[in-house]
Structure 1
């Protein structure tokens, strides 16, 4: 894994936005589009706000969600709600192709299958150009939660968590989808994550983050 260390979370967000912008330009030039998925979190939202200032052909960029809480539309618990707040008033709101996870569907299992199919239709092979990931202080990433059966899913690209986590059931990308991404970008900031970061870098299979492939990954952090 490529590791880039910065002095602050703000610098991590800035450098990540620059890196994504460069990758997007390269992919659009080579194949005409760029597809990536974003996780929630304070530093990622700062990154997205900075990315929104870049001069990119946004209509050729497809943005997916890595995971989402099962909550009503517009609820503050939803990553999508936070994402829209970040982008409100920017050019991205009208030009970027945003594909929300349908957690308000009456049949959530079907919604998982439909989202996976949609990713396949857009990408042609379910291989996203970039997946952004964060990590919790317990070693979870996306909504792959320690001890949850969702971590054992091998035959679905999108799946539901078996149990609520922090009060909400989740819908998430699974290892089969994440690990085939062309690029994975880790943004990990905050002192409370230092121990788990070491375990992740050592590929500790006891934490969900430790089972993400590292050969196509870059880590941006303020912790090392």
Structure 2
């Protein structure tokens, strides 16, 4: 089997968050259109943190076929679905409660399994298997789009620096009991899943992310978790950032 090399990231930088939101929503609709034309649906995984607030450009945007979306969470905190720490609640509050997406198209964790994280992550993996099982019998699911943020420490999804999960090669969904950020118990998609996606888009804004972004893009050999998101060809990784976050980056920017 040929070994596919990862393709280099594409960096888009915007002078203000409004421009970024507009460009990101345009990018997402384009990805959706291609996916629906190919397979009749759009599979997307979304992280939490500050990311969901940048998706509000999709509300009322023409061309969004909400009934074709199948939404998973790139990571999720093991808390009730209506808890302030829940990524699902965050995405519901910022986006899904404001658009006509069928509730069954949003795949959440089964919080009733909270006392056994192995069972909980296995159950979530089964949701993915159910969605992706017939897709070219691939070893890993191939998401049309995965949307991620990046923390000041360079973590993404719930993949944290120097954590054993960074070397997970088999599982689709893994759990973490010792997240350095509260809450400590989470599940996350693993690198094999993230790096098999057709597209991965990061969103990062603000001067507080400048040093992290410089390390991720200019010094990938430092091995920060976000640097290791390098989808194998033909997959592609995109960075949507504002000029403040990109202020120290030497990596070349691309015009949209």
Is TM more than 0.5 here?
yes
Report how far residue 204 of structure 1 moved.
Answer: 3.1
Cα deviations by residue, 1:113-161 (Å, 9 ceiling, x for unpaired)? 2222321321334111111111000110101011322222222111112
Count of matched residue positions in the alignment of Structure 1 and Structure 2: 223
Computing the radius of gyration over CA atoms, which structure comes out larger, 1 or 2? 2
Cα distance change, pair 112–153 in 1 and its aligned pair in 2 (3 A): same
Report how far residue 2 of structure 1 moved.
Answer: 1.4
Is residue 150–residue 162 contact of structure 1 (8 Å, CA) maintained in 2?
no
- Unaligned runs of at least 5 residues, structure 2: 1-8, 247-256
What is the match of residue 12 of structure 2?
Answer: 4
What is the match of residue 211 of structure 1?
Answer: 228
What is the match of residue 186 of structure 2?
Answer: 170
What is the match of residue 21 of structure 1?
Answer: 29
Cα distance change, pair 16–180 in 1 and its aligned pair in 2 (3 A): same
Cα distance change, pair 142–89 in 1 and its aligned pair in 2 (3 A): closer
What is the match of residue 192 of structure 1?
Answer: 208
Q: In 2, Cα distance between the equivalents of 1:163 and 1:185?
A: 26
Matched, 1:36 2:44: yes
Cα distance change, pair 143–88 in 1 and its aligned pair in 2 (3 A): closer
Q: Secondary structure, in 3 states, of the residue corresponding to 1:41?
A: coil
Is residue 46–residue 71 contact of structure 2 (8 Å, CA) maintained in 1?
yes
Which 10-residue stretch deviates more, 85-94 or 197-206? 85-94
Q: 2:95 aligns with which of 75, 87, 94?
A: 87
Is residue 17–residue 50 contact of structure 1 (8 Å, CA) maintained in 2?
yes
Q: In 2, Cα distance between the equivalents of 1:204 and 1:10?
A: 32
Report how far residue 65 of structure 1 moved.
Answer: 0.4
Cα distance change, pair 104–144 in 1 and its aligned pair in 2 (3 A): farther
Q: 1:220 aligns with which of 237, 240, 244?
A: 240
Q: Structure 2 length as normaliser, TM-score? A: 0.80
Q: In 2, Cα distance between the equivalents of 1:103 and 1:189?
A: 31
Is residue 52–residue 95 contact of structure 2 (8 Å, CA) maintained in 1?
no
Backbone CA RMSD of aligned residues: 2.0
Report how far residue 190 of structure 1 moved.
Answer: 1.7
Q: Structure 1 length as normaliser, TM-score? A: 0.90
Report how far residue 93 of structure 1 moved.
Answer: 4.3
